[in-house]
Amino acid sequence: MKTLIFSIIFLFSLKTFAQSDTITAATAKNYIGKEVVLKGILKGVKPYSDRNGKDILFLDIDEAFPNSEIGVTVFPDAVPEVKITKEDVGRTVFISGIVQDYKGKPSLPISEGKQFRFKE
């Protein structure tokens, strides 16, 4: 019986530690290296092709580049899954991942479509 109770408590504690903080673009610099969910307003989308001709998207969250507090890049494998139209600008988005430092600025790369969703 003790083993069962200990196992249940252990599983609940794992779930608690696995949860990510929900942050804003303005606070992203405080979360470098941490798994988070970024909540913000999509202010713009800039398509780009890398040197191999693969599509990449740069997303402006809360402010347009160069004033944005965080860089969000949708890499080629995720581009087909991240469906964004011009009409989506102004909508609230949620982006999950690990905040990275890119040239002194917070960055949140999207390598899988499941990392990105619109507020419903």
pLDDT tens-place string over residues 56-104: 999 999 999 999 999 999 999 999 999 999 999 999 999 999 999 999 9
Specify burial of residue 41 (Cβ count, 10 A radius: 0-12, 13-18, 19+): middle
Confidence at 11, pLDDT banded by 50, 70, 90: very low
For residue 44, give Cα distances in angstroms to 40, 51, 64: 12, 23, 6
Query: Is residue 51 pLDDT above 90, yes or no?
Result: yes
Quote the DSSP letter at residue 27. Answer: G
Query: Is residue 3 pLDDT above 90, yes or no?
Result: no
What average pLDDT does this structure show over 37-44?
Answer: 98
Specify the residue for token string 């580049």.
65
**Span 20-118 CATH architecture:** Beta Barrel (2.40)
User: What is the reported pLDDT for 1?
Assistant: 53
| Residue 93 token pair | 């988005």
User: What is the reported pLDDT for 16?
Assistant: 39
Contact 40, 25 (CB under 8 A): yes
Task: Output the pTM of the full model.
Answer: 0.82
Query: Is residue 110 pLDDT above 80, yes or no?
Result: yes
What average pLDDT does this structure show over 32-58?
Answer: 97
The predicted-structure confidence for 12-38, as pLDDT tens digits, reads as follows: 443 434 468 999 999 999 999 999 999
